[in-house]
Structure 1
């Protein structure tokens, strides 16, 4: 009975090389991911003199977090980031849902061609469109606003594709039954399709929030004032000082910036993985 559960090579007294290699690779990747985070935590909670040396007797301190918080208006940066990711996610859910529903259930001339054009956007790096997006925001008079940061991302080709694939799996009988009961297209969408696609919405929402919370280049270019800067741009204040780089303060500010996403992932990692599995994201 036991031999049947083992790999053929292990049952014969040999090594299960595939399992050993997979385990070793997983540990290596885990160490590569944990090492920078461990260094950041160590540096942030110890005085600056211990930033470049490891000493178990080093005293713990929260002074670096206090200095980082006082050096820049982090409260405003946090508020801007929360408003930004909320605005983008709300816009994406609305626009992507309507577009995906149209591609999945309506038949109209040029539907396949338009959908191919949507997929083409997945092959275009957002940074390539920075100049055009900036010119558009300037023409609209939106430069240095939170809306200008989020507007270019409101329609997501990935979101449209993901939701369309999910909507195609919904049985048409449910659609027809709701129509027989007198429901309109929007009511069918809201009461039938959206609830059944909840795992996909959660999976996409986690990806969207993570990406736009960490986005740096576009917010840096389109904003000029403290009132509109998100956390990532505000963090650049700590890049250099007149006295040089203070790694303790920088890592403390970095942890405050990345902390919400790390805590959210640790709390909801099971739902995160299950959502992607149910949504069919590879």
Structure 2
């Protein structure tokens, strides 16, 4: 009985989560005059997407978002890998205390750091730049924690065997630890891409030009503009355009997404 109640509750929560998405997709394909109507008819159109694409530079927003997300992910993979290896396998004074202090970042809300980060970027003349958006996220305590826990489960005998073969520490890291931690890398990569694709507050504060705005900021400006503020069809079409890449990636790699978290959790 309890299992049935749990199953029904899970499906109920899934429907609640899915309803806004379905409503946005439905509205985006409806003619403007029928956007807020609940009548079921065969009137569908792609004009909303064409109007949105012509009304705002979404092509530039896509390029900006792709560059920002990719740059952050690459930097996080490098810094998290090196830090995780040091915390997991190297011995140095104060390692455990330093690791605890490093994890304090997980308990600090990102919004608290907006003001000091803004001042630093202003002093560095990096406001309204892509590198300015990316710089505060080049290190990830969450990524370091995941990889550190995975690296600690890898037997030291593998590293010793690699050293006997003449491998340097970098070769050991690249050929032993990184391949064995692939599920964790996938899990963290998916989380990082999803978070920074949807990041809004920080890019909104430091960007002023089309050349550096990501999709989330561009969507907010488009939705609040005088011409489209009350046009639900166009706003829904723009929303679908923004979330479509993430939604498509999840549908295509759903199995890998779930398996990566299962494997990283088991390790």
Interval containing the TM-score (normalised by the shorter chain): over 0.9
Question: Which one of 202, 207, 218 corresponds to residue 218 of structure 1?
Answer: 202
- State the match for 1:168 in structure 2: 152
* Matches for 1:231-270 after TM superposition, within 5 Å: 231-242=215-226, 244-270=229-255
Give distance in 1, aligned partners of 2:226 and 2:242: 23
1:151 maps to 2:135:
yes
Whether the aligned pair in 2 keeps the contact of 1:96 and 1:160 (CA below 8 Å) is yes
The CA deviation at 1:261 is 0.2
The CA deviation at 1:20 is 1.6
Give distance in 1, aligned partners of 2:36 and 2:171: 60
- State the match for 2:49 in structure 1: 65
Give distance in 1, aligned partners of 2:85 and 2:50: 49
Please give the secondary structure, in 1, of the residue aligned with 2:59.
Answer: helix
| TM-score, length basis structure 2 | 0.97
Q: Give unpaired runs (5+ residues) of structure 1.
A: 1-16
Please give the secondary structure, in 1, of the residue aligned with 2:211.
Answer: helix
Instruction: Flag the structure with larger Rg.
Output: 1
- State the match for 1:42 in structure 2: 26
Please give the secondary structure, in 2, of the residue aligned with 1:100.
Answer: helix
Please say which of residues 241-250 and 107-116 is displaced more in the overlay.
241-250
- State the match for 1:6 in structure 2: none
The CA deviation at 1:155 is 0.4
Runs of 4+ in 1 over 4 A off after TM superposition: none
1:119 maps to 2:103:
yes
Please give the secondary structure, in 2, of the residue aligned with 1:103.
Answer: helix
1:229 maps to 2:213:
yes
Please say which of residues 85-94 and 179-188 is displaced more in the overlay.
179-188
Whether the aligned pair in 2 keeps the contact of 1:46 and 1:58 (CA below 8 Å) is no
Give distance in 2, aligned partners of 1:281 and 1:45: 43
Deviation by residue 1:224-259 (Cα, 9 ceiling, x = unmatched):
100000000000122234354111000100000000
Calculate the aligned-residue CA RMSD, in Å: 1.2
Please give the secondary structure, in 1, of the residue aligned with 2:45.
Answer: coil
1:56 maps to 2:36:
no
Give distance in 2, aligned partners of 1:90 and 1:147: 13
Deviation by residue 1:169-207 (Cα, 9 ceiling, x = unmatched):
001000000011111111100110000001100000000
Give distance in 2, aligned partners of 1:237 and 1:245: 13
Deviation by residue 1:90-123 (Cα, 9 ceiling, x = unmatched):
0000000000000001000111111001111100
Give distance in 2, aligned partners of 1:281 and 1:137: 40
Give distance in 1, aligned partners of 2:38 and 2:162: 65
- State the match for 1:80 in structure 2: 64
The CA deviation at 1:58 is 4.6
Q: Aligned pairs, how many? A: 266
